[in-house]
């Protein structure tokens, strides 16, 4: 990237805004634009694909980057803790795990890295990679910023304006446009939610106005290991929402046969279900239609 454009993402928030990121959240862009214009284009792409064609969206942040490319030290945010983790995982080769409970041995990790790379390449060719690639006031997870394009090139993915969107777009589209996208639609959710939360999510999706709600439970801690190509929902979905940690990549890459958008919304699914009040420290809260529920 010869020139880096910085796009203020504050208007995406339906909560407290960029103040939760130290009053700065500027996504890196391949071209000059505004958040509103960029996000509007993304909404149009998703809307036109609903019930019509496959369109995968996969979110990539610190966990996915570390799984693929190893730990890098963030010298600007909690550097001592970052250094300790680097020593633990890169020098002492401790078993790899995420904050969401995913845990893999060294042998498993190597095999699954290959699978993840393949899935990411599929998404980059068919839909969008929602990458945490920004400058923020907290300097959170910025350690990969300078080398982002080179790192993805190593796995055969060329990032460009056609396959990359900011990380927050994937959740913002549901937080801000849930009625537009989901009302009257058949919605399939794939996640590791327990029965109680799965049922609560269904009740709240019906409040939003979905026509039919279907649920497929994947592994809550090892979704990357499974095959989803044979999933046959009870009702043909118009859109699929996914929350499966790093393993969401395999879910969204395997569901081409459903011919609809498959969007990794991660922790925002817990906001939709009512389990949590917000996502990303309050940047996103529940859709307005669910207020007072």
- Report the half-sphere exposure of 183 (CA within 13 A, side-chain side): 10
pLDDT tens digits for 88-145? 888 878 876 776 677 777 788 889 999 999 999 999 999 999 999 999 999 999 999 9
Strand, coil or helix: what is 203? helix
pLDDT tens digits for 17-32? 999 999 999 999 999 9
pLDDT in the model for residue 241: 98
**Contact by Cβ (8 Å): 165, 251:** no
Q: How many C-beta atoms lie closer than 10 Å to residue 221's C-beta?
A: 18
Helices and strands: H and E segment counts in the chain: 9, 14
pLDDT tens digits for 214-259? 999 999 999 999 999 999 999 999 999 999 999 999 999 999 999 9
Strand, coil or helix: what is 180? helix
pLDDT tens digits for 151-196? 999 999 999 999 999 999 999 999 999 999 999 999 999 999 999 9
In the chain, the domains with their CATH numbers are 5-61+122-166 (no CATH), 64-108 (no CATH), 173-290 (3.40.50)
pLDDT in the model for residue 100: 65
pLDDT in the model for residue 99: 63
For the record, the structure tokens of 115 come out as 């699978």
pLDDT in the model for residue 253: 98
Task: Measure the CA–CA gap between 28 and 242, rounded to whole angstroms.
Answer: 25
Rounded average pLDDT over 46-66: 97
């Amino acid at each position: 990237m010869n020139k880096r454009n910085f796009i203020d993402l504050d208007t995406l928030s339906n909560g407290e805004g960029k103040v939760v990121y130290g009053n700065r959240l500027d996504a890196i862009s391949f071209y000059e634009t505004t958040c509103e214009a960029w996000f509007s284009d993304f909404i149009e792409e998703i809307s036109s694909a609903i019930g019509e064609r496959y369109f995968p969206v996969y979110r990539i942040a610190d966990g996915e980057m570390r799984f693929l490319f190893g730990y890098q030290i963030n010298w600007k945010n909690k550097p001592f803790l970052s250094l300790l983790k680097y020593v633990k995982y890169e020098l002492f080769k401790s078993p790899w795990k995420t904050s969401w409970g995913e845990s893999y041995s060294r042998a498993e990790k190597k095999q699954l890295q290959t699978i993840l790379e393949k899935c990411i390449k599929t998404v980059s060719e068919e839909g969008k990679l929602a990458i945490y690639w920004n400058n923020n006031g907290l300097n959170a997870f910025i350690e990969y910023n300078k080398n982002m394009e080179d790192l993805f090139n190593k796995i055969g993915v060329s990032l460009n304006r056609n396959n990359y969107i900011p990380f927050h777009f994937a959740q913002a589209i549901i937080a801000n446009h849930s009625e537009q996208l989901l009302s009257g639609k058949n919605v399939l959710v794939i996640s590791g939610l327990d029965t109680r939360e799965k049922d609560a999510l269904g009740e709240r999706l019906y409040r939003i106005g979905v026509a039919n709600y279907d649920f497929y439970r994947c592994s809550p801690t090892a979704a990357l290991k499974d095959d989803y190509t044979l999933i046959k929902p009870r009702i043909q979905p118009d859109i699929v929402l996914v929350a499966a940690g790093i393993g969401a990549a395999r879910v969204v890459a395997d569901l081409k046969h459903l011919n609809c958008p498959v969007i990794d919304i991660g922790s925002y699914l817990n906001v939709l279900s009512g389990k949590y009040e917000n996502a990303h420290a309050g940047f996103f809260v529940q859709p307005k239609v669910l207020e007072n529920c």
